[in-house]
Structure 1
């Protein structure tokens, strides 16, 4: 197995599995980033390779798929799993525009997806869209509202920000 490029974000699933991204300096010029899983019993597998800058990662509420921020493609990919835990039929969940692309991801208790958008200095949250929705159903984004805690790291100042969200 080759060396890691530079590990980035991680997510612990409800079953104890750890997902993490290996981003390094990958991008459209070098789409060799990877998504890994470490199972609760210690097995490490490369879930997905050939990703142009994999970044934030989160699992859906039903633990059927991972949402992956692909910064240089300016998109969030949906990575569903088959019965054996293998990635299958990976596709675009949200296509963004402008800025450098999505970075950190978080899922609220109702399935809304918070997306930190690098370069725009913005955060958007989907309106409780089902993770399995078709791309044309994923156009409904709203700006962050102020009703519950969300923690955001701000790399320019090294600060941890808080914002309130509906759930």
Structure 2
């Protein structure tokens, strides 16, 4: 099945990532461009905000967001900018945060990765309401795609360089167990990047180098594919008033001048209508003072 896509913002992001639907707008980042972007589809409004460092994800918190920066977690408010919250790892690891998600209990899940994409120094973390950051998995070079099933019982996480999406059992206390292979991507020249789970429990995974995304059943069977006119697709996100628009961030990073000439919309934000809605975007629950 091939579904038509529309480039809704030719933003030419170096490394577009982390789209979330929040308060009737699509928010996303350009990690290497150090930008936060906001797209309002109702009015076509496009806004951008500069970050003091590589900014890798946003997660709603109160009137603003928690933002992942290379230096650690920050609070971000469009009118106030960035305020440091906490560091995550020693600077000498040369790691940065990467992808993130918020579960229905308000827990923030995020990964770190080696900024040079060489060392398996990345890890998966969980931030809980008391402000505790707990390492949940480790020894990964590029962490990606944390997402949770609609019943809150299955957690997914991707090791991009190993081309593997892992599944775990997730209990009510936020503990992971029974790690197992969910999908091994066998597409030549393509690696699994960010993922999101729809309301039926199917996993949509973006393909870096794969010109699109694949929908997997809860059993790991590929059942649909979306093709985009951009080689490096980084993450999907459900948005719109009915959560039936699938947005995709993409990247120009690593593409030659010849490839960019052939695919000029690379780095753009794309929208695709789908029949099955996504899950709502949850907000982080944090009991720490502002």
What TM-score range do you get, normalising by the shorter chain? 0.7 to 0.9
Task: State the distance in 2 between where 1:117 and 1:38 align.
Answer: 27
Show structure 2 runs of 5+ residues with no match.
1-87, 228-243, 253-265, 277-290
So what's the TM-score if we normalise by structure 2?
0.49
Report the counterpart of residue 179 of structure 2 in structure 1. Answer: 90
Show structure 1 runs of 5+ residues with no match.
130-136
**Residue 113 of structure 2 is aligned to residue 23 of structure 1:** yes
Task: State the distance in 2 between where 1:48 and 1:159 align.
Answer: 32
- Which is higher, the Rg of structure 1 or of structure 2? 2
Task: State the distance in 2 between where 1:26 and 1:80 align.
Answer: 31
Root-mean-square deviation (CA), in Å?
Answer: 2.3
Report the counterpart of residue 166 of structure 1 in structure 2. Answer: 275
Report the counterpart of residue 246 of structure 2 in structure 1. Answer: 150
Q: Is the 8 A contact 1:71 1:100 kept in 2?
A: no
Q: 1:3 to 1:76 in 2, by over 3 A?
A: same
Q: Is the 8 A contact 2:114 2:121 kept in 1?
A: no
Taking CA–CA contacts closer than 8 Å with sequence separation of 6 or more, which of the two structures ends up with the larger relative contact order? 2
Give runs of aligned pairs for residues 122-141 of structure 1, distance below 5 A.
Answer: 122-127=212-217, 129=218, 137-141=219-223
Task: State the distance in 2 between where 1:83 and 1:163 align.
Answer: 33
Give runs of aligned pairs for residues 1-167 of structure 1, distance below 5 A.
Answer: 2-3=89-90, 5-25=95-115, 30-82=119-171, 84-97=173-186, 98-127=188-217, 129=218, 137-144=219-226, 148-156=244-252, 157-167=266-276
Once the 2 structures are TM-superposed, how far is the Cα of residue 66 of structure 1 from its aligned partner? 1.6
Task: State the distance in 2 between where 1:21 and 1:15 align.
Answer: 18
Q: Deviations over 1:66-99 (max 9, x none)?
A: 2112110111111223565332221110111222
So what's the TM-score if we normalise by structure 1?
0.82
Q: Is the 8 A contact 2:215 2:222 kept in 1?
A: no
Q: Is the 8 A contact 1:48 1:87 kept in 2?
A: no
Task: State the distance in 2 between where 1:79 and 1:50 align.
Answer: 17
Q: 1:63 to 1:14 in 2, by over 3 A?
A: same
Task: State the distance in 2 between where 1:79 and 1:123 align.
Answer: 22
Task: State the distance in 2 between where 1:88 and 1:54 align.
Answer: 18
Once the 2 structures are TM-superposed, how far is the Cα of residue 126 of structure 1 from its aligned partner? 1.6
Q: 1:26 to 1:66 in 2, by over 3 A?
A: farther
